[in-house]
Amino acid sequence: HRIADELRVALQNEDFVLHYQPQVDIVSEKIVGAEALVRWKHPQKGLIMPGNFIEIAEETGQIQQLGEWIFKTACKQLKIWLNQGLDDFKLAINLSAHRLEHSDFLSKVEKILLLNNINPQQIELELTESGMLRDTEKALELLNHLKLRGFALAMDDFGTGYSSLSYLKRYPFDQVKIDKSFIKGINQNNDDTVLVKTILSMAQHLKLTVVAEGVETYEQLAYLRELGCDRAQGFYFSRPVPPDEFAESLFASQ
């Protein structure tokens, strides 16, 4: 596979970068967190988005090394911002379920936490249901462990999978992220509105916080606030941006 060969070189050279997109408290409109999103800095093709290489990295097993780089880089960055006086901030890191199957996973995570002196309570791990189907018992055990260790767990792209509800019941999530496809038509499309209202009411009963993803307009934000959604993430506030650019808006918002 040509991309897999190029990825191998990229992993050696660390040709990746994390961009950060703010998560905003809907009532105070303050930045309370960010999601780290990986990009590949390709020497010829420029920035390549994760949709074009994460799946391949999962198929080839390269996701183990890439995921470790992502976790390490996110922790280093988080430490810098914490040292600059930030508090009450959570960094969300996407975790491919493939990584849970690797026997070294937990020891690698612990090593990186220790090296950067990071408390897991400042980190939220985002998981999608895709890929979690192979060994659910082992996944459950690991997620329970991560939760006890202090990590917050978020279910990503909520509503797009086949079994979102049974995943919520089975795994110890703290937060759901409503997929952007449902936010798109909110307040215009009756089906989207009903679905979002239902997700919010269910999350309230289960004591989960809710992040709306893909918030692009003031109208969407205002409506989500009216419905009692906790947080919002989307282009209305900011696209995912490089760390320095993110830090400017972050510290301006404190």
156 is a contact residue toward Na ion (CB under 5 A)? yes
Dist CA 111 CA 73 (whole Å): 13
By beta-carbon distance, which residue lies closest to ligand G?
234
Which of residues 66 and 113 has its CB atom nearest to ligand G in the complex? 66
Dist CA 156 CA 181 (whole Å): 12
Residue 73 binding partner per list Na ion, Mn ion, ligand G, none, with a CB distance cut-off of 5 to 8 Å that depends on partner kind: none
Choice from 6, 68, 129, 157 touching ligand G (CB under 6 A): 157
Which of residues 139 and 215 has its CB atom nearest to ligand G in the complex? 215
Number of chain positions touching ligand G (CB under 6 A): 20
126 is a contact residue toward Na ion (CB under 5 A)? yes
Least Cα distance to 101 among 135, 67, 126, 152 occurs for: 135
Q: Which amino acid is at 142?
A: L
Dist CA 28 CA 7 (whole Å): 41
CB atoms within 10 A of CB 244: 8
Q: Say if residue 112 is exposed, middle or buried (CB neighbours under 10 Å; 0-12, 13-18, 19+).
A: middle
124 is a contact residue toward Mn ion (CB under 5 A)? no
Q: What is the token pair recorded at 79?
A: 């430490």
Choice from 7, 10, 32, 38 touching ligand G (CB under 6 A): 38
Q: Which amino acid is at 123?
A: I
Least Cα distance to 65 among 19, 114, 20, 16 occurs for: 16
180 is a contact residue toward ligand G (CB under 6 A)? yes
Site string for Mn ion, 206-235 (x = CB under 5 A): -------x----------------------
139 is a contact residue toward ligand G (CB under 6 A)? no
Choice from 6, 58, 124, 157 touching Mn ion (CB under 5 A): 157
CB atoms within 10 A of CB 185: 15
21 is a contact residue toward Na ion (CB under 5 A)? no
* Contacting residues toward Mn ion, per CB under 5 A: 156-157, 177, 213
